[in-house]
Amino acid sequence: MNQQHQDERTRIREAMDRLLAGEATASNGSFTAAALAAESGIHRMALYKRHADLKNEFDERVRTETKQVPETEKQLRATVAKLKKTISNQKAEIEELRELVTRLTLASAVLTQGNGASAEPVPTPDNVIPFRPST
């Protein structure tokens, strides 16, 4: 590792300690990756790309030392719950549509049977053009 990379890692670890101790100096003090990046003075994407292990370590320390769930995990859990509800609603809608298809198929069969049962042809009004010629 080069010296700049090592310095960034040192600053991130020091920022972790300050945030967890509640002594934030350069951020709002929240337990997020953005606050960790601001507190350490590095770009947030550098934290995600080059120092992902330290970001994960921070999340784990937040979970164990403060007995709190990291903000990103809260957001993911909310998204998962929302998606599960959407899936449940879609499954119910699909089941309703399947039942509707069955009922419509039966109604169509009854109507088709009813049309063939009459002996007399139904009179056609003057303004109606049949699709196929009557027999």
Q: Examine residue 125 and state whether it is found in any structural domain, yes or no.
A: no
Buried b or exposed e, range 116-125, using 16+ CB within 10 angstroms: eeeeeeeeee
Q: Are residues 53 and 105 in the same domain?
A: no
Number of domains in the chain: 2
pTM above 0.85, yes or no: no
Q: Are residues 59 and 39 in the same domain?
A: yes
Q: What is the pLDDT of residue 99?
A: 95
Task: Record the tokens describing residue 19, joined without a space.
Answer: 């945030």
- For the chain of 135 residues, list the mean pLDDT of each consecutive stretch of 10: 86 92 87 90 91 91 83 88 97 96 91 66 71 67
Q: Examine residue 135 and state whether it is found in any structural domain, yes or no.
A: no
Q: What is the pLDDT of residue 117?
A: 53
